[in-house]
Amino acid sequence: VGGPRWSPDGRYITFAGFGGISPTSAYRLDLRTGEIACILRNGPDEMLTGAAYGPGGTHYFGRANVKEGSAEIIALDVGSGRERRLYRSPAERRLSIALSPDGRWLSFNNAGWGATRSLSVMPASGGEAREIWSFGETKPGTPTINHTWSPDGRFILFGAPDPSDLRQWELWRVPVEGGEPEKMGLRRRSGIFAISVHPDGRRLVFVGRGGASTDSELWVLENFLPDK
């Protein structure tokens, strides 16, 4: 089980089910009845790479086809089971996604190991994607870069490793409308993953590691985000 997400009304939790080491299907737990239903079942060569709850029963997923070496973003109507492709890249292994607080925009970054990475934004209803920052070419073995939106929708925050020392990570933010990213004053060893900002914009929670994949830590930071 991985990647749990609350529904906006607090009634459901969706999560990924794993086939081997890769998340292959998505499930929804009804907290009132305890019923668990599969809402998205992928093919044998497909795996989930990200998820975001949208308004009106829509759920967004990043999905990769391991055999083809491609990745896509889909919108799933949970009620009808109908899915619609919003974006496809024929040369990506993984897409990490996040939804803006107002539900109007999707952000995504190609999070594969190595190659040129970038962070882009597109309408949640579908349409043209716009790159807001390029990380440039990354070394093979560079871990996934996670990101999330600020509560006011003006910035996207992400944790990224230092290219000269992949064990050192820093927290950054970049304006959605474009511009240079800026450091947020957090630097630590062994990762800044699964970032989530509190609605008040002053607190942040993330997952870190103490040096091994089995040594995970949950951190909460308070009163550190800039006012501007």
Coil, strand or helix at 127? coil
Q: What's the structural domain count of the chain?
A: 1
The pLDDT of residue 130: 93
Residue 4 resides in a domain: no
- Which phi and psi (to 5°) does residue 136 adopt? 80, -170
The pLDDT of residue 156: 93
Residue 156 resides in a domain: yes
The pLDDT of residue 155: 94
Question: CA-CA distances (angstroms) from residue 1 to 22, 25, 28, 96, 147?
Answer: 10, 10, 12, 18, 21
Residue 176 resides in a domain: yes
Residue 58 resides in a domain: no
Taking Cα atoms as reference points, which of 23, 24, 4 lies closest to residue 14? 4
Domain enclosing residue 150, as ranges: 146-228
121-178 confidence digits (pLDDT tens):
999 999 999 999 888 777 766 666 778 999 899 999 998 888 778 788 888 999 999 8
pLDDT at 98 > cutoff 80? yes
Residue 189 resides in a domain: yes
